[in-house]
Amino acid sequence: MGWFIARRLGQFLLLLFVMSLVVFVALFALGNPVLNFINPSSPPDVVRQAIHNLGLDQPAYIQYFRFLSGIAHGDLGNSYTSGRPALRLILERLPATLELSLGAMLIATLVGIPLGLGAGYRPNSLVGRFVEGFSLLSVSLPTFWIGLMLIIVFAIETGIFPAGGRGPTTDLLGMKVSFTSLEGLRHLFLPALNLSLFPMALAMRLTRASVEESLRMNFVRYARAKGLPPRRILSVYVLKNVLPSLVTVMGMVLGGLLAFSVITESIFAWPGTGKLVIDAIQISDRPVIIAYLLFTVFIFSTINLLVDIVCAVLDPRISLRGAAS
């Protein structure tokens, strides 16, 4: 287990290095960011001074090494616009995104997996048909459109939920969270529901397909031969077989939600990292973009590690020693 985590850590650092290089080169190619946020009519020496202050007059490789040595000290640079450390900006916004993504995943799994189980068990039942239609619809309809519809129906027309923004926050383990209060939950529900539709459809379809496959397995027939009630067969014998692949896919999806929930956050004016990075991209706030992309590498690596550990717990045939590569 220790060896496994150590190897994973090595892979993570390598990935981080490669990612930093790619991102840095790509952003450098975009040209000088200073012109985006300095008054174009400023005198030339002021512009030159600003460029020098940011270190942008140095050759690319020197900029890159300065950046790398900064990382080694936990410093990902300061935002060009606010002057505050980029990593701190991200970490401040993280609880909001974390809350939103986890809320969405919770809805997706709590609704998607049971419905998928039912649909896989009885494909021609009402549940089966509903899952077929619903999952197809929510995969094919664009997220932003559904988000707007949710706002129109539930916020503007009926006023059950607020149209956007985050509710009041309280401190929990040093993070500002909003799900602790009813008002916070009301604000969280619509964006979380909107964000949950895609993973929900995915969970449904995946669960349904794996259940249909599992039901044909010999061990299910054997469980029936033992006279086990169908409920027990489905909830233990089938589910236990379905979970590892489900966890793997949902882990990847969670990574995607955390890193790229930009659209939903924009529509619902949710003050998360997605909105932060969109703003940063618009004005070429280089340190923030780089810090954010490196941060997504960290998120995906961590989630993959957790997924592998969970799968090893679920399936004793998986050995973590061999699974690292």
Partner 1 sequence: MTSSPPVLEVKGLRTEFHMGRSRLCAVNDVSFSIGRGEVMGLVGESGSGKSVTGYSIMGLVDPPGHIVDGTIRLHGKDLRGLPERQMNAIRGDRVSIIFQDPMTALHPTLRIGQQMIDAIRAHRSVSRSEAWRRSRDMLGRVGIPSPGERLSAYPHQLSGGMRQRVCIAIALLNDPDLIIADEPTTGLDVTIQAQILAEMQALVAARGTALIWVTHDLAVVANIADSVAVMYAGSIVERGPTDVVLRRPSSPYTVGLLNSVPSRNQGASRLSQIPGTYTPAVSEEAVGCRFAPRCPRADDACTVFPALTAAATGAPGHEVRCHHPYAAREGRLSHV
Q: Residue numbers of the site for partner 1 (CB under 8 A)?
A: 217-219, 221-229, 232, 236-237, 240-241, 314-317
Q: Closest CB to partner 1 among 142 and 227?
A: 227
Output the smallest distance, CB 127 to partner 1, in A.
19
Q: Which is nearer to partner 1, 119 or 238 (CB)?
A: 238
Nearer CB in complex with partner 1: 73/231: 231
Helix (H, G, I), strand (E, B) or coil at 43: coil
Locate 20 and state its tokens. 């930093």
- For residue 177, list its beta bridge partners: 170
CB of 198 to partner 1, least distance (A): 29
Please, which residues have CB within 8 angstroms of residue 48's CB and are 6 or more apart in sequence?
A: 57
Closer to partner 1 by Cβ: residue 54 or 119? 119
Residue closer to partner 1, measured from CB, 72 or 225? 225
**Closest separation in Å from C-beta 239 to partner 1:** 11
Nearer of residues 140 and 218 to partner 1, judged by Cβ: 218
Closest approach of Cβ 62 to partner 1, in Å?
Answer: 54
Give the H/E segment covering residue 172: strand 170-172
**Tokens standing for residue 312:** 């090893």
- Tell me 176's DSSP state: E
Which regions of the chain does DSSP assign to beta strands (E)? 170-172, 175-177
| Both structure tokens of 23 | 């991102």
> What single string gives the DSSP state of each residue in 194-228?
HHHHHHHHHHHHHHHHHHHHHHTSHHHHHHHHTT-
Q: How far apart are CA 151 and CA 33, in angstroms?
A: 36
Task: Compute the least distance from the CB of residue 209 to partner 1, in Å.
Answer: 18
Q: Report d(CA 325, CA 305) in Å as an integer.
A: 12
Tokens at 121, concatenated = 């068990």
Minimum CB–partner distance for residue 267 and partner 1 (Å): 41
Least distance to partner 1 from the beta carbon of 323, Å? 16
Residue 39 and residue 16: Cα distance in Å, rounded? 35
Cβ-in-10-Å burial (0-12, 13-18, 19+) of 180 comes to: middle
State which residue, 21 or 313, has the beta carbon closest to partner 1. 313
